[in-house]
Structure 1
């Protein structure tokens, strides 16, 4: 099945060019073009999407704020930011919002395709240039004093809620009832949590949460 892609960019020429470029690659299917984050949220309520390729600076709702909402409401949809911004602070904010990729608009076609394929396979993609920019942010917790991708684990408000309910030893069904979600959505959030923090079980997740002071001692 093709990877279904939604393009979000308020520059019409850029969006159309991206659509033509990606549409020519058989494993991809561009299912729509929208101009801002609010249009993205409306579009994904009515259509099946795998990946959103979004500009960072869009009117009404920017790429980062849009990503936060998508992570809360549609955790299976992945967001790749495609932007001109190389500012380390913007990159960090995007990571904290929960993007799965960050690529410069100046990137070659091959890199953009590689980024989409990587994210579609369940991994994250950040170009070497982005990693170098992120290292410009001081981090006193690292021995080298620099920030790395792994230093920023983007947990959404919903994921934090679910983590704390897991700490209370609630089942997926009980968590779903408490938060008025489907069991499938809870299971998806739970899998995302394990993957994000790099553990394989609820016990490992609780140890990680305690280490980072996200929950109280059990």
Structure 2
């Protein structure tokens, strides 16, 4: 039985996909979620799908960043994009983030089921419509740059200070002394950032910050402010 979790903020899409898959032998729709954080909450509650079927433009954590987090923290969950976003740039970023399949929402029921089964078997799948377009671009020698979607997560000024000191290797006590606050408060900021990003621990939080240049962005903002 292939266990599927659906993530989409559009209630009509959720209902439509559930209706498409509900009578398909060998598939079980475990749950659905309206945004990226809700997906992580369900997983943390013990709902473990084989397949996540997600929209690109999810609220709170978009589908591509969500796929990246799942790929790093729950690699056994295979993520598929199911979207109306037909720009080739998103396809590049999607596969870089660990997504295994990219489908348009106008795909037939047969193609959707086929793609799910292909991904479950460890394969990649691009919907027929997009594959044809990419083939034409390839034959023309057109280069498709990545959009490199930035995380839509905001840290407070104090959280960024804590993050910077964490990346410098400081302990909670050392950070508390430097920021003239309590160790408990520092631990609270650290945990808040872990929850916001969906990572599993402090090393993963630092890796996340480095991946998206969060610390460099803060340094640039400070430099601009004082110049």
Instruction: State whether TM-score is above 0.5.
Output: yes
Displacement of 1:144 after TM fit?
6.3
Q: What secondary structure does 1:67 align onto?
A: helix
Contact 1:91-1:134 at 8 Å conserved across structures: no
Displacement of 1:90 after TM fit?
1.1
Query: What TM-score, normalized to structure 2?
Result: 0.59
- Structure with the higher fraction of residues in helix conformation: 2
> Which 4+ stretches in 1 moved above 6 angstroms?
none
CA deviations 1:18-53 (Å, max 9, x no partner) are 112101102100000100111111112221210000
Q: Where does the alignment leave 5 or more consecutive residues of structure 1 unmatched?
A: 153-178, 182-218
The count of aligned residue pairs is 147
Change (3 A) 1:33 1:39: same
Displacement of 1:180 after TM fit?
8.7
Cα separation, 2, equivalents of 1:25 and 1:147: 39
Show the counterpart of 2:100. 100
Contact 1:5-1:53 at 8 Å conserved across structures: yes
Given the alignment of the two structures, is residue 123 of structure 1 paired with residue 119 of structure 2, yes or no?
no
Q: CA RMSD in A?
A: 2.5
Q: Which has the larger radius of gyration?
A: 2
Show the counterpart of 2:30. 31
Change (3 A) 1:113 1:3: same
Show the counterpart of 2:53. 53
Matches within 5 A, 1:103-114: 103-114=103-114
Contact 1:86-1:133 at 8 Å conserved across structures: no
Displacement of 1:133 after TM fit?
3.5
2:141 to 133, 145, 160: 145
Change (3 A) 1:62 1:137: farther
Query: What TM-score, normalized to structure 1?
Result: 0.62
CA deviations 1:106-159 (Å, max 9, x no partner) are 011100000001001111111232223445767xxxx962469xxx9xxxxxxx
CA deviations 1:44-66 (Å, max 9, x no partner) are 22212100000111111111010
Change (3 A) 1:68 1:61: same
